[in-house]
Structures are given as C-alpha cells and as structure tokens.
Amino acid sequence: MAETIFETDNALTRKAWTEKLLRSAKKNTFWNMYMAEGGDNIVHVKNELAKEQGDKVTFGLRAQLAGAGQTGDDYLEGKEESIVTYSDAVTLEQYRHGVRVKGRLSMKRAVFSIEEEQKVALREWAESKVDNLCTDAIVASPTRVCYPVGASATFTVATGGSAGATAAAAINATQSAPTPKFFTQLKTYAKTGGNSRFERLKPLKIEGKEYLVALVPEDVLNDLFNNTEMMNAHKDARERGSSNPLFQSADIVYNGVLIKGYEKMPTQANGSSVNYGKCVLLGKQALVWAWGRKEEFVQETFDYKNQIGYAWGIIAGVKKPQFNSEDFGSLGFYLSCTNISNA
C-alpha cells in the first residue's frame, strides 16, 4: 500500500509556495452528456439493479420497422408488420480506489489542505475511470470498420471478427486521410444500414434535425481542421446551428455529423508504419450502461484517527450491444492521421 508522506524537508512543507497545488483542471465525465434513460441518447442507462439483487442486466433491442404501410382505404388487417427483437446482457463489476495520508504530522507540515487534495484527486480518478470504461467498450472489436483506400480513396468496409485488423493493415497515409467526401459516405452507409445488411444507426434528434456523432482521436481532428472544405462547411453549420449542448460541444459540424475530438480515442501505427486513428460513428443506444450501485465516497480514519483516507466506488457495467451479431448503434471507421500525439 502506498501512503502519502510529507517529510520536514519536502519542498511543499511551510515554504514560500502558493497554498493551492498546481493541478490539472477537474474535468466532468466526458460521456455524461451522452447518457440518458429511455434509449434516446448514445448511452442507454439502465437502473433496474440499482436497488435490486443480481449482477447481470438483460435488455432488449428492436429493429426499426421496414414496411411501407398502407394508404387510403387499403385493407390493413393481415398486412401488419411484426417487430424484430434481440436481447443482450451487461454484467456488473465493482470498481474502487482510495487515497490515504500517513498521519496528522504530514497533514500539519503542508501549507495546503491534504484532505481536500485527496478528495479532488480521487474525484478526477473516478471521472477518468468511467470515461475509460465507456471508451474501451465502444472501441473494442468492431464488427464493421469503414475506411478510404486506393487512388480514388474508395469507401471500403471490412467485416467480421477480424474487421479491425483488416482495415488497419490496409490504411495508407495519403489515400486514407480524413476528407469531407468520406464523412458524407460514412453517414450514408450508417443511415441506410449498408443497404440493410446491418441495423441502421438511429440519429439523435436535436431541434427537429438528425445528427450522428463521430468520435475521433485528436490527431484526426487536427487534420480535419486543416481541410479548407470541411472548415468552410463547419462555419456555415455553426452560424445556423442549435444551442443544444451536444451540438455546441462538437468540434466540427458537417452534413449531419457532429465530429468530436477526444484524447482517449486511440491512435497507433500499422505494419507499414502508417499512423492511423480508431474512430467510431455513434447513434442511439451505441452503449448500454447499467448501475448496480451508484458512486459512493467514503471517509475512514485509521490508527486512532491519526490517518484519514477516502475511497470511491461503484458497481456498474458497460457494453457495446450487438443485434444479430452486428454492433448496434455504432459503426467503426479508421483514418490515417498526422502523428502529433507521439511526436
């Protein structure tokens, strides 16, 4: 167990330093803005086990109706359409972490509040943990990965269990770069379900307009910012855009796609040493987050109240759902990008 110790000669012990530590700004959970009960946002929150026993939440997924329906006085009876459903499940896990100071003397030596710093540090860790859980789930093992390749940057789709590996190996530094053309093709493919080969993504509705959300690594976003056509279109969209927080949080708005750069989205090099970013296009119910026990902060004392510790914990689970063995609500895509993060 690691314990925070402040010795007498520590540079932060009663010296001419500012009382507050220079710490990174506290961030709210990134995924929180996309969470909602009821399935109308990107992350569908399930609370069934928050007050009940059990460690697995089973949920249903429904395909969109495909029939044309009847018009006028055409007979409807006997021509109804049956709904198609699948079930999936998310298993709960417990996540905890804690901090603890050596004792009252260490607390006395510091010119800042060690108690407060422990709380802040733990809160920042907790927020990062939730973000990591969601990001890891949405990026993992995509069943379809779209990418541009070839002299004409042809829109290409890899499928199956090795979709990610197939797409990564094919990425070319120039042919697979992010462009407005690719994002238009990507949206078309997602909203049509690849001519109904998979369940089409359900867009979010913001003030009557439909949007999908594209999460990309910061390196991919950097290249998009240097694309004149993309940025001109973004400027026009912003001027006519919504005040909705999801809309305003987007870094680029293009043709019904809210493009958001996120530092936790991964980049890496393929076998040809081409740097690329793993990206994902999101619609409704792209993730399911289930609560078993909502977050709890606990203060505890030890050694006759000489030591003070704090702990944070949750019981929860997150999963990228699948419908008929295909990712539901999300679509992977890989793009080459300038290697800024690892320069």
In this structure, what token pair is assigned to residue 317?
């689970």
CA angle 325, 48, 290 (to 5 degrees): 50
Q: Give the whole-angstrom CA distance, residue 215 versus residue 29.
A: 15
The DSSP output letter for 265 is S
Higher pLDDT, 312 or 220: 220
The answer on pLDDT for 13 being more than 80 is no
For residue 105, give the 3-state DSSP assignment.
helix
The single residue listed with the structure tokens 């006759």 is: 304
Degrees to nearest 5, angle at CA 315 with 310 and 317: 135
The answer to whether residue 14 scores a pLDDT higher than 70 is no
In terms of average pLDDT, the best of 85-99, 225-239, 266-280 is 266-280
Mapped onto helix, strand or coil, the DSSP state of residue 219 is helix
Bridge partners of 253? Answer: 258
Do residues 267 and 276 lie in contact, with contact meaning Cβ atoms separated by under 8 Å?
A: yes
The CA distance from 227 to 180, in Å, is 8
State residue 91's pLDDT score.
92
What confidence category does residue 17 fall into, taking pLDDT thresholds of 50, 70 and 90? Answer: very low
d(C-alpha 204, C-alpha 49), whole Å: 27
Confirm if 310 and 116 have CB atoms less than 8 A apart: no
Instruction: Kindly report the length of the chain.
Output: 343
Q: What is the DSSP letter of 42?
A: S
DSSP 8-state code for residue 199: P
Over range 97-122, report the average pLDDT: 83
Pairwise pLDDT comparison (149 vs 82), residue with the higher score? 149
pLDDT digits (tens, 9 = 90+) for 131-148: 999 999 999 999 999 999
Q: Going by DSSP bridges, is the β-strand pair 56-62/85-91 parallel, antiparallel, or unpaired?
A: antiparallel
SS3 (DSSP) at 12: coil
pLDDT in the model for residue 88: 78
If DSSP states are collapsed to H, E and C, what string results for 144-194? Answer: EEEEEECCCCEEEEEECCCHHHHHHHHCCCCCCCCCHHHHHHHHHHHHHHH
Alpha-carbon Rg for the chain, nearest whole angstrom, is 24
Higher pLDDT, 123 or 88: 123
Average pLDDT of 1-8? 62
Between CA 28 and CA 24 the distance in angstroms is: 12
pLDDT value of position 48: 84
